[in-house]
Amino acid sequence: MAASHLIISRLALAESPEREPSASIFTDLDFRAESGDCIALMGAPGCGKAELLQILAGNLRATSGGVILDGREICGPAAGRSIVGKEPRLRAWLTAHAYVARSARAAWKKRKAGGDIDEWVRHNLHLTGAADAASLRPGKLSAALRLRVELARVLASDPKLLLLDDAFGTLDAGTRAALHDTFLAMQQRVQHTAILVTENLAEAVLLADRILILTRGGGVKHDITIDLLRPRSRAQLVTTPEYEAYVAQLRKLLSETSAAAPAATPQAQAMPAPEAMLPHPQRHPMPSGKVLEKPALSLGYVPLSDCAPLAVALEEGFFDGYGLDITLVRETSWQNVLDKVSMGLLDGAQMPAPMLLGAHFSAAYRPLVTSMSLGLNGNAITVASDIYARMRATGVADLETPLGSARALRAVIDANRRERRPPLVFAVVAAFSSHNYLLRYWMASAGIDPDRDIRLAVIPPPQMAHYLQAGLVSGFCVGEPWNTVVARNGTGRVVVNSYAIWNNHPEKVLAVTRAWADAHPNTHRAVIKALLDACWWIEKDDRRPQLTRILSQGRYLNMPQDDLEAALDGVYLNPAGTGQAPPLHAFHRDCANFPWRSHALWLLAQMRRWGHIQASTHELQHAARSVYRPELYREAARARGVPAPCCDLKPEGAHESEWQLEDSKRQFLLGSDRFMDGRLFDPEQLDHYLAGFEPAKKPAPRPAPEATRDDRDYGDNWYPSMA
């Protein structure tokens, strides 16, 4: 299992270094938090809640023990770990925009230009509901607006930890409720790990995934998991019996610990300045043959097995070989990646191919383009063990096949409806993702309507296993290694891998904005060359041990090598359970790096099929041409001696084994491309293809601006964030 995002181990804090160890605020305090968790700290006065926040911020030294964040010990203050308290620290002479911008520039000064910073500031002010206050100084702001601006300041620094010290405590009930709504929507979008101190029971249950009750002189007395599905709606949640039961349980547990001694102020030791993070080892670059417009780049990724091309290109020196100085930035969710690439806070990123296509139809994002696919396949659909047992009990034949498993799930859904059970909840990694459209394709093959018969939620990949283990979702479609993680620990079972739904389907691509691509053609070409070299390296027979060693590092997947070995082999992704691995990642073979516009058109057709975009066939074709740019790939591949097809389109679904593509200049050996239902996709006959399905759904009405939030539950409230 991967190490946790935040590890607090045997932490102790004495009232004074000179006093006996027994005179402690807390001792042997232990807990862990995963990326994206929201944890509430509660307890009687003097139990050390506020002091713990100061330790996490790096402002206070613990007497003993340690705190590890993303594999690094917290040794002092750092950007991205400041505390939001009851009284925001706005500067009287600065407007809200200038105040947030100052923090953003401190965090991004070496990577982003002023114009990009200003747009990032506006984005975060909008996200926290403070956009209208941008030009105002603190004297003109209400307490609620000052808090919204302070939240925007912290978000603008791209924090690893969001720390709140009773931040909502001074607000009246109505204003507090509005800020709760903002915080819930904000967290659902950015997925930062948050630690909040609060004395309000209802607030803790509403906002937190876990509630820790601390005792004075001790540690964590109670660790309560709040099994309420996210995304959460305050208006809907506060009237439910489950919510009231958690509040009642919390009230009882707090009353049992109310005899704690009053707080004393620790005489803490001041922290020295933190040591600078060590840069990646420098290597001697080989000449690239072109002058790079921008050698130093930031590229984003989400921790998955298919981030391998980026990791290998950095660790094995392929980026260096083309004169590139690359910083890889690990993000918690695909929505974060999309936002930051669009705003210029990342130069580029690994990104699900449908996200670029969805962004094409949205005015909220700068136009994005891709000139390289980073691989094919790599996903699977996993269900909780109890759901799989119910699927087996239906007696549906051929459970190990895609259609058989879909029919068995249909039988479970029908039984739930007859028995008046709640609908099953399935998760995908993003609204516009191959995971979403392959999951829908699989379900629809058995007559399941994903918008009517189940609920769909968006959950970042690293959190999928935790949601399944907690019983908050019934299943999910996610990339490796997260299917293997739950299959190995017995909490879930893979029912179909994505290759079985569509052989060699498109997955992640290298995404940049169109403006960036136009301004940096040599740099863009160099990045593609380096990634081509890395993809070739990955598929060499003797590279597996080295690859798992790279990916196991804390900066990437942060998990044991044997777990990664199993994930890359795909032995847990065979529904038949024979141990025979299905075809999994194709990083280089079968022209896996070529950006086929026929792939883009199939994804666009699915978007129209499910009502996620409303566009004519001509508009779909224009979108594919605008977003997918194979010309630059051909130039980079030619320079590396890698053959590239001359055609942009190919038929999909007609080949159940390897086949030869007859190109104008040469033949290409490609892998199978069969769909699970045997359909054929002719990219030049979109209308004919779509006519074979039920009439396309119409997009749901666009939400009011104040309700528009990304990465939310879109089963009952569907329309993706790029509407």
DSSP string, 441-475: HHHHTTT--TTTTSEEEE--GGGHHHHHHTTS-SE
Q: Which of 127, 85, 87, 86 is nearest to 104 (CA)?
A: 127
Read out DSSP for 12-60?
A: EEES-TTS-TTSEEEEEEEEEE-TT-EEEEEESTTSSHHHHHHHHHTSS
Which residue do the tokens 């402690």 mark? Answer: 24
Long-range contacts at 120-126 (CB < 8 A, ≥ 24 apart): 120/156, 120/343, 120/344, 120/345, 121/97, 121/152, 121/156, 122/97, 123/339, 123/343, 124/100, 124/152, 124/153, 124/155, 124/156, 125/96, 125/97, 125/100, 125/149, 125/152
Distance, CA of 508 to CA of 593 (rounded, Å): 10
Where do runs of H (alpha helix) occur along 238-297?
A: 241-256
Give CA separation, 189 vs 124, 128, 332, 708, in Å.
11, 11, 10, 11
Q: Edge-to-edge strands of the sheet including 348-352?
A: 325-330, 296-301, 348-352, 508-513, 368-373
Beta-bridge partner residues of 455: 425
pLDDT at residue 522, rounded to an integer: 95
pLDDT at residue 578, rounded to an integer: 55
Contacts of 150 (CB under 8 A, 6+ apart): 84, 88, 89, 90, 167
Q: In which band, very low, low, confident or very high, does the pLDDT at 279 lie, cut at 50, 70 and 90? A: very low
Hey, how many other C-beta atoms are within 10 angstroms of the C-beta on 102?
15
Beta-bridge partner residues of 115: none
Instruction: Sort residue 289 into left (φ over 0), alpha (ψ -120 to 50) or beta.
Output: left
Does the N-terminal peptide bond of residue 262 adopt cis geometry, omega within 30 degrees of 0?
Answer: no
Give CA separation, 207 vs 38, 162, 496, 599, 706, in Å.
7, 13, 34, 40, 19
**Dihedral (C-alpha) 343, 348, 352, 353: value to the nearest 10 degrees?**
100
pLDDT at residue 111, rounded to an integer: 63
Burial (Cβ within 10 Å: 0-12, 13-18, ≥19) of residue 687: exposed
Q: In which band, very low, low, confident or very high, does the pLDDT at 695 lie, cut at 50, 70 and 90? A: low
pLDDT winner (highest mean) among 163-177, 524-538, 581-595, 683-697: 524-538
Distance, CA of 500 to CA of 18 (rounded, Å): 66
- CA within 13 Å, CB half, 681: 25
Q: What are the phi and psi torsion angles at 168 (to 5°)?
A: -95, 5
Hey, how many other C-beta atoms are within 10 angstroms of the C-beta on 559?
20
Q: In which band, very low, low, confident or very high, does the pLDDT at 227 lie, cut at 50, 70 and 90? A: confident
Hey, how many other C-beta atoms are within 10 angstroms of the C-beta on 658?
10
Q: What are the phi and psi torsion angles at 563 (to 5°)?
A: -65, -40
- pLDDT, tens digit, 9 for 90 and up, residues 423-435: 999 999 999 999 9
pLDDT at residue 579, rounded to an integer: 58
How many Å separate Cα 129 from the centre of its chain? 23
Hey, how many other C-beta atoms are within 10 angstroms of the C-beta on 704?
7
Distance, CA of 83 to CA of 674 (rounded, Å): 53
Give CA separation, 292 vs 288, 317, 368, 384, 689, in Å.
8, 17, 21, 49, 44
Q: In which band, very low, low, confident or very high, does the pLDDT at 16 lie, cut at 50, 70 and 90? A: low
- pLDDT, tens digit, 9 for 90 and up, residues 281-311: 333 333 344 589 999 999 999 999 999 999 9
Q: In which band, very low, low, confident or very high, does the pLDDT at 255 lie, cut at 50, 70 and 90? A: confident
Distance, CA of 626 to CA of 497 (rounded, Å): 31
The pTM assigned to this predicted structure is 0.77
Distance, CA of 589 to CA of 670 (rounded, Å): 8
3-state SS assignment for residue 408: helix
Which residue do the tokens 């001697």 mark? Answer: 284
Inform me whether the pLDDT recorded for 576 exceeds 50.
yes
3-state SS assignment for residue 262: coil
The strand ranges marked E within 347-392 are 348-352, 368-373, 379-384
**Dihedral (C-alpha) 629, 630, 635, 639: value to the nearest 10 degrees?**
130
pLDDT at residue 54, rounded to an integer: 93
Helix (H) / strand (E) containing 608: helix 597-609
The mean-pLDDT minimum among 19-23, 116-120, 555-559, 680-684 falls in: 19-23
Contacts of 306 (CB under 8 A, 6+ apart): 350, 374, 375, 378, 479, 480, 507, 508, 585, 587
Give percent above pLDDT 90 in the chain.
65
pLDDT at residue 393, rounded to an integer: 97
pLDDT at residue 276, rounded to an integer: 29
User: Per-residue pLDDT averaged across 504-512, rounded?
Assistant: 98
The domains located in the chain, with CATH, are: 6-82+160-256 (3.40.50.300), 96-158 (no CATH), 296-375+507-649 (3.40.190.10), 379-504+701-707 (3.40.190.10)
User: Per-residue pLDDT averaged across 657-677, rounded?
Assistant: 87
Burial (Cβ within 10 Å: 0-12, 13-18, ≥19) of residue 486: buried
Distance, CA of 619 to CA of 622 (rounded, Å): 5
Contacts of 491 (CB under 8 A, 6+ apart): 384, 385, 465, 468, 469
Give CA separation, 688 vs 34, 622, 679, in Å.
47, 18, 12
Give CA separation, 486 vs 257, 303, 387, 507, in Å.
36, 16, 14, 22
In the predicted model, what is the mean pLDDT of the chain? 87
In terms of pLDDT, which residue wins out, 446 or 10?
446
Inform me whether the pLDDT recorded for 110 exceeds 70.
no
Burial (Cβ within 10 Å: 0-12, 13-18, ≥19) of residue 213: buried
Q: In which band, very low, low, confident or very high, does the pLDDT at 1 lie, cut at 50, 70 and 90? A: very low
Helix (H) / strand (E) containing 427: strand 425-428
Q: Which of 647, 640, 682 is nearest to 667 (CA)?
A: 647
User: Per-residue pLDDT averaged across 583-609, rounded?
Assistant: 95
Inform me whether the pLDDT recorded for 233 exceeds 90.
no
CB 320 within 8 A of CB 574: no
Q: What is the C-alpha end-to-end distance of the chain, expressed in Å?
A: 37
pLDDT at residue 449, rounded to an integer: 96
